[in-house]
Amino acid sequence: MSQVNLKQLFQSIEKKQFAPFYIIDGEEPFYLDRITEYFENHILKPAERDFNLLVMYGKDTDWPDVVNACKRVPMFADQQVVILKDAAQMRTLNELVGYLEKPSPKTVFLIEHRFKKVDGRSKLVKLAKDKGYYFTSDKIKDEQVPNWIQNYGVEKNFHVGEREAQILATYLGNDLQKIVNEIEKVRINVPEETRLTAEMIQKYIGISREYNIFELPDALTSNDKDKLYRMVAYFSANPKAAAMPLVIGSFYSHFNKLYLVHFIRGKSDKDAAAIIGTWPSKLKELQSMTRQWTLPKVEFALAILANYSAKSVGINSNTDSSELLREMIGKLDLYAQS
């Protein structure tokens, strides 16, 4: 579900435009938790919740109990809220069809079905789409995580740059709640700051700026030999910190930017940075690197990356990842000096 759709759902609740029941499901619990929390705390007034908010759990309840709860008359309020959490664990879930066909107009009923989807062929889903509200929260793909992190930063007025988002995505994966927890940890420690920096990531999250795969291409193309050799030695000794597909992806992104720099002469820094997908200060660094990394060298580097991308998945090679990393960096570095 997109942030836009989530916002629209919350706005409709704020306007008291309730559906008689809601079914939310999927493998990504982050959005399910946000919706459930919203139902618990934003539909009823605090004074109304003691008598009119009922939270039930699929593992510990059966369908007659849920139906009876939904048919109760609200006490001292216009609405009551019934939430069925972990509905996937309720063996008689499909028996709720009878109630959903004729739901109580005085009850806002939420069915939270986490970690997997409700069978799309079931009448539950058909009724939700027809008479209620149906929402699926899918796991986002790994390549979408950096963009999600940046959008989350915008939502919280806390700027997260491209490089910082990539570092977080690489080391935290696509567990959205874990990512949010780590970002919020930084914000608690530096409440006056409005921008996430690599130094903050290293200090408060524990991800080393020097020893991360997104600094490796810079070390190579900026000709910082000492840093390059330290990083290669570190990653060779700690292969889990630098999976070859991620390393190659980082190098490809970097060399693709260098490739584009060769074709944007004459444009303003702002326009050029937007085309490349970077920021103006980083553009200056890339432009400086192109003095050594001419267009033919960049094209050859991309060919080397393609070759090692195939080797990293076992095509024409059975070399371990540490040795592949050293080979690849050695060839790129040797070619840079030619």
- Dihedral sign for Cα atoms in the order 212, 146, 281, 154: negative
Q: 128 and 11, same structural domain?
A: yes
pTM, two decimal places? 0.68
Left (φ > 0), alpha (ψ -120 to 50) or beta: where does 9 sit? alpha
Q: Does residue 333 lie in a domain region? A: yes
Q: CB 159: neighbour CB atoms within 10 A?
A: 14
Q: 90 and 187, same structural domain?
A: no
Interacting residues of 193 by C-beta distance below 8 A, sequence separation 6+: 158, 186, 187, 200
Interacting residues of 316 by C-beta distance below 8 A, sequence separation 6+: 310
Residue with tokens 């070399």: 319
CATH number of the domain bearing residue 186: 1.10.8.60
CATH number of the domain bearing residue 309: 1.20.272.10
Kindly give the confidence (pLDDT) of every residue in the chain, 338 residues in length, as a single tens digit, with 9 standing for 90 and above.
445 477 888 889 889 899 999 999 999 999 999 999 999 999 999 999 999 999 999 999 999 999 999 999 999 999 999 999 999 999 999 999 999 999 999 999 999 999 999 998 899 999 999 999 999 999 988 778 889 999 999 999 999 988 788 788 877 888 999 999 999 999 999 999 999 987 788 789 887 666 778 788 989 999 888 889 988 988 888 787 778 888 898 899 899 999 999 988 778 888 888 888 777 778 888 999 999 999 999 999 999 999 999 998 888 888 888 899 999 999 998 887 77
Left (φ > 0), alpha (ψ -120 to 50) or beta: where does 320 sit? beta
Question: How many domains does the structure of the chain reveal?
Answer: 3
Q: Does residue 211 lie in a domain region? A: no
Q: 162 and 115, same structural domain?
A: no
Q: Tell me the longest C-alpha to C-alpha distance in the chain.
A: 82
Q: Does residue 43 lie in a domain region? A: yes
Domain containing 18 equals 3-136
Q: What is the 3-state secondary structure (H, E, C) of 71-98?
A: CCCCCCCCCEEEEEECHHHCCCHHHHHH
